[in-house]
Chain A
Amino acid sequence: MEMLKKINKVLQYIRGLIFILLFVVGLSYLAIYIYKYKPVEEVSLIENRNLETFIDIEDTSFFDNSFQDKLEDAFKDQFIYRYEAVKLKKKTDQNIASFLRGAGNQAVQLNPVADSGLYQVGTTNYIILGLIEENEDYKERYLQKAEDINKLQEDYPDINIYVYYPTQVHETAFFDDEEKGIKSYGPMYYQLFSEALKVKHGRLELSSIEDYERYFYQQDHHWNYAGSYQGYLDIMNLIFDGQEEVLKPNEIVTSNDELLWQGTMGSRTGYILDKEPFYYYTFDLKDYKVYENDIDEVPVYNMNNVDEYLSANKSGYYYDILGDNNHYNEHFVTSYPEKESLLIIGDSYASAIEPLLCQHFSDIYFVQPINYRWRINGGKYFDIDKFVAEHDIDNILFMYTAENYFYEDTYDSFNLHREGK
């Protein structure tokens, strides 16, 4: 018995020693490997930010705490298998939530996706933003926006002004459930907006969840090939009232199974769900040129680079496929100088339909006011009066998605800032 106790004690010592060595050597090795040998990753395309690296630490000081902050951030950002760890954590969270909710979920139920602030539609691969909440400020901003547009039409009676509203799924009533108190106020805001508008307007009609699934990417908030083509048809109808022949697609092309994609929602959830193929239409289009920010001619966006993009497995953002997001205005010079011009004031939803609209206008100017405020010239606002005075504009099309109407921090950038008007 005594002997057994002694043996146990010796073995416990050995076990303890191994544990201590494992801890100290393991953590030391990990620290040295991350610091010295792991290839430095400088940019996270997914997070759209520069990662902290140990190289930056050389310029820091212990006394202003920059060394401490950067060291911690560098370890986090440069940690081995960082994205895999994030994905594992987020996927586990989601699996736990799915398990607790039970299988056999109704298709239209919204399930919060862990800590992302997003929702999974039932157990499908579709991830969406949270339903639009009731907010007095939102209401005021929609009405103000309608008033701004009406005023613009009054001031420029020779210009035809149109509004097209790309409806998104989180502003529909598909998920409303009175008993549970679940409601999207999107329909109410659109109705208010529509009633207040005095110019011709229309929107992407989503009459069922199937429409949404047909028109949108599974894990991106943008419309897909079918949605953007429907948007093109709606806009053509809005502007030309059936008097102009519309383009018809030649074929649907799809990326192969190895070249799949996920968008913004995918990155926000940590890419926990399956990717989808990237589909697009091909059209017979006449040439056009694109000038960015009034100066630079840039390559024409087309779908030829989709494979390249997908194989490079970049950030997973829509703008990587359909054009750089940094411009504040683009000028499309088309092959139809005899036609009228069009100014589009909107957001990235326009990117997919610009090439198609180029077949119906002489010049298309695409302005993203959000970029004036956020990216250009330290908060300079878009001046529509100046723009109209400097360009020969026949038609103006407003086409923003919901968020850009009601979010306070960007609302100012969409207010027309027409002093004295």
Chain B
Amino acid sequence: MLFNSFAFLLCFLTISIVAYYLIPFRIGKNAVLLAVSIIFYCWTDYKLILIILIEALFAFLMAVIIYNTEKTIKTIAYIFSLVTVIGALIYYKYAGFFLQIINSGLSVNIAGLPLGISFYTFNIISYLTDVYKNETKADMNPFNVILYLLFFPFVLSGPLQRYKFMREQFVNRKYNLLDIANGLRRFIIGLGKKVLIANNLAIISDYVFRDLPMDEYSAAICWLGAISYSLQLFFDFAGYSDMAIGLANIFGFKSAENFNYPYIASSITDFWRRWHISLSTWFRDYIYIPMGGNRVGKLRWLFNLFVVWALTGLWHGAAYNYIIWGLYYCLILIVEKLFLLKILKKAYVIRNIYSIVLIVVGWVIFNCTSAEQVFVFIKTMFSGLPIITIEFLDGLSFLYLLPYLLAAVVLSTPLFKFVYDKLNNNVITGIVVDAVLVLILITCVIFLINSSYTPFLYFQY
């Protein structure tokens, strides 16, 4: 079920909120959350719930074993559990890709990719690792582990959560009416980002990346497509994260932030501190630092970075372009850490231009479907000045979407948040904020209805 579906907005969400707050006790509320999370997960394909439930119970048991054993057995149990959950991830998500690499001629017949498998697998790994390192206790209540993995706001697209942080809230969370209202407000903002901005920018980027023949590329159209895709991706994912965090707030949960205006980054290092923060910190804490981080020899450090970024690329999808995209960032980060960061520190404005250009190029690699397209696209982007003439604009079938693009550029800076916080903290201006949010919600509904309008293509008669 998608957050931006009518089934979710009109039925699931409202029923969940009412049921949750009608139940008086925390245990009862957790039971409601578990029940609605199971329904939410089953909505797409009920059979897939079995896989996540089995993995949750497995994680619960292995955590208990790891927690209650010592040294060798503890380590064996830990390694066994990691191999098992990573094996499941590889089987479901990457088997086809790996078989294609080794050109085995074999094919796999996998029933379906369990929803959010990349996210809940990483959550399981973090839980088991934290237990192994005695940073948290093994939970003796399996329902807490299941709820941790299945909690519907986070299950599909994160943000990734640490078990310790979530468990604390399962057993001890406070409800504040202001937090609930702000959660709702944040949900609507996220919905607006997704439905009004990301979905519209997707029309531009799909046209440029998918429909436009490569021999019709020009610098202007390629930049327009690349920038649209960069903003689409940000508003799609950040919008979803806003909705997820807002929903969690509605049910009394808190979450760490997942995005912090990544497109104002002053370097690529800075960008990765601002983009998909929960994933970056996960890789830092569970891969990079355990491998020695940067406190090792230069070659080993380079190897550590290579592994982290190859895995980051692979995590995003089972395809070559994602791996190349990961390694592209690996290369830039190495150069930055070796000497460029020092230079960038003093290069105000230029450093932002440098960052955004490299980020946009990175998204081109991410989104192209072939090496040839990547090459031609990037070559065209830098083949001349992207001059936008009136004739160029007149010929655009998506001219009506340009205001969304401009809005996206403005909204990707902290300006909106600054104004929103100022207005929201005052009761009088806060009412204006609420009125605007209701308007955004209505506009989202109109956009969703519009997508169902399919006039008969009657012209060959």
Contact = CB atoms under 8 A, between A and B. Distances in A.
Interface of A: 8, 11-13, 15-20, 22-24, 27-28, 30-31, 34, 46-49, 62-63, 65, 68, 71-73, 75-77, 79, 82, 85-86, 88-90, 93-94, 96-97, 100-101, 109, 111-112, 114-115, 117, 129, 179-180, 182, 221, 264, 267-268, 270, 315, 317-319, 325, 347-348, 368, 370, 401, 403-404, 407, 410
B431 interface: yes
A96 B397 contact: no
Given A96-B403, A347-B461, A68 B7 contact: yes
Interface stretch (B9-17, B133-141, B299-307): B9-17
Interface of B: 1, 5-7, 9-11, 13-14, 17-18, 42-46, 177-178, 180-182, 184-185, 203, 391, 393-400, 402-403, 426-427, 430-431, 434, 437-438, 445-461
Tell me the dominant secondary structure on chain A's binding face. helix
Nearest to B6: A75
Contacts of A34: 10
B453 A68 contact: no
A68 B43 contact: yes
Given A24-B17, A71-B11, A347-B460, A97 B400 contact: yes
Contacts of B449: 76, 79, 82, 85-86, 89
B404 to A, nearest CB: 9
Tell me the dominant secondary structure on chain B's binding face. helix
Nearest to A14: B427
A-B pairs, 9 with minimum CB distance: A16-B181, A48-B456, A75-B6, A76-B452, A31-B10, A112-B397, A97-B400, A348-B461, A93-B400
Contact of B11 (A16, A17, A31, A318): A31
A73 B454 CA distance: 12
A89 B445 CA distance: 11
Contacts, number: 163
A243 to B, nearest CB: 32
A100 B399 contact: yes
B14 A31 contact: yes
A15 B431 contact: yes
Contact of A264 (B397, B451, B453, B458): B458
29 contacts: A8-B427, A11-B427, A16-B181, A16-B182, A17-B181, A19-B434, A20-B184, A22-B434, A28-B18, A30-B10, A72-B5, A75-B10, A76-B448, A79-B6, A79-B449, A85-B450, A88-B446, A89-B449, A94-B400, A96-B403, A100-B403, A101-B399, A111-B394, A117-B397, A129-B459, A221-B459, A317-B456, A318-B458, A407-B460
Nearest to A69: B7
Contacts of A267: 455-456
Contact of B434 (A11, A15, A68, A270): A15
Contacts of A28: 10, 14, 18
